[in-house]
């Protein structure tokens, strides 16, 4: 028997169904209208991101451009969007996304032109890698970063996933990127609870993570990555999960990871995007 999703059995999460996933472009308009409905003091607290594009589509960059021209004054960046992601990649209908896809290069080229921040999810390795093998996507993602030095890229979760575990010498692999000035435009997000569980899995793991962050405090960001939290307690769950890590960070690193780096990166992005919009959208909302 084929069990189809219907009105009585609609999925509430992407793993609730065997049906293929698809990109829902209207989400950008829906987010923009919700944002514009807020009073100015509340809008100032948000940096909406464009997500309704397929990174294998050569017209994806054009979609992002149209969203900015249709809703000027709203968006600050793109993402989080995924290329190689456990469970998700195989469920998406159509072409398989690739770090070498020219459509992805067009997206990052346009992001650099406008000043958009990009949040990219790409697993560092396969879910069940062959023992002793090199991380499957390390070279490819470094090549992507290398091709787009003018685009501010936040690499979500340091390449980890629900099943994708830290690779051998994970901190050293990440540090190779952080200390290479070729990748000064790359930042690392540690917001997800699936990342936190590895970072605080043992005193040794927490010390290694804290040591790395203390040496590169300008390159890490923490936020919230909760799916529809029902209350403030659940919204802050990962923040408190990181208590052992916060205690090992210097006051400077704590401030930068929790607030300062976000403010610096997104404030600059917002300034640049608004400047691009001013030059490319007239007062009627039409493209110049």
| Predicted pLDDT of residue 286 | 64
| Predicted pLDDT of residue 185 | 97
Average pLDDT rounded to a whole number, residues 206-232: 92
In a domain, 139, yes or no: yes
Tally of domains within the chain: 1
In a domain, 8, yes or no: no
Furthest C-alpha separation in the chain: 59
The lowest-confidence range among 146-155, 158-167, 202-211 is: 158-167
The lowest-confidence range among 30-39, 177-186, 226-235 is: 226-235
Share of the chain above pLDDT 90, in %: 75
**Contact status, residue 202 vs residue 161, Cβ threshold 8 Å:** no
| Domain assignment of residue 243, given as a range | 26-280
Average pLDDT rounded to a whole number, residues 29-54: 97
| Predicted pLDDT of residue 34 | 98
| Predicted pLDDT of residue 130 | 87
| Predicted pLDDT of residue 1 | 47
Give pLDDT tens digits for 249-271. 999 999 999 999 999 999 999 99
In a domain, 57, yes or no: yes
In a domain, 205, yes or no: yes
* pLDDT > 50? residue 71: yes
Which of 148, 92, 94, 93 shows the shortest CA–CA distance to 120? 148
In a domain, 7, yes or no: no
| Predicted pLDDT of residue 7 | 67
In a domain, 154, yes or no: yes
Give pLDDT tens digits for 79-128. 999 999 998 888 898 889 999 999 999 999 999 999 999 999 999 999 98
CATH of the domain at 57: 3.20.20.140
In a domain, 16, yes or no: no
In a domain, 10, yes or no: no
Q: How far apart are CA 118 and CA 21, in angstroms?
A: 22
Q: How far apart are CA 176 and CA 141, in angstroms?
A: 13
């Amino acid at each position: 028997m084929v069990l189809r999703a219907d009105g009585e059995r609609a999925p509430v999460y992407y793993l609730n169904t065997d049906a293929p996933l698809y990109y829902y472009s209207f989400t950008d308009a829906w987010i923009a209208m919700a944002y514009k409905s807020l009073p100015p003091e509340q809008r100032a607290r948000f940096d909406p991101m464009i997500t309704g594009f397929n990174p294998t589509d050569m017209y994806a960059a054009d979609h992002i451009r149209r969203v900015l021209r249709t809703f000027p004054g709203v968006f600050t960046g793109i993402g989080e969007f995924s290329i190689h992601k456990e469970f998700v990649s195989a469920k998406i209908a159509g072409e398989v996304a690739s770090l070498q896809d020219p459509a992805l290069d067009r997206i990052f080229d346009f992001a650099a032109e406008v000043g958009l921040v990009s949040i990219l999810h790409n697993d560092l390795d396969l879910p069940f890698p062959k023992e002793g093998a090199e991380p499957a996507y390390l070279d490819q993602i470094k090549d992507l970063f290398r091709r787009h030095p003018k685009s501010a890229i936040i690499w979500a979760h340091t390449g980890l996933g629900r099943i994708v575990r830290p690779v051998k010498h994970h901190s050293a692999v990440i540090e190779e990127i952080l200390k290479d000035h070729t990748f000064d435009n790359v930042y690392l997000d540690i917001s997800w609870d699936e990342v936190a569980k590895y970072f605080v899995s043992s005193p040794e793991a927490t010390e290694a993570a804290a040591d790395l962050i203390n040496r590169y405090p300008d390159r890490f960001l923490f936020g919230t990555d909760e799916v529809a939290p029902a209350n403030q307690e659940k919204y802050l769950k990962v923040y408190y999960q990181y208590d052992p890590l916060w205690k090992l960070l210097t006051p400077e690193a704590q401030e930068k990871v929790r607030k300062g780096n976000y403010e610096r990166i997104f404030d600059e992005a917002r300034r640049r995007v608004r400047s691009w919009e001013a030059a490319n959208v007239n007062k009627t909302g039409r493209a110049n």
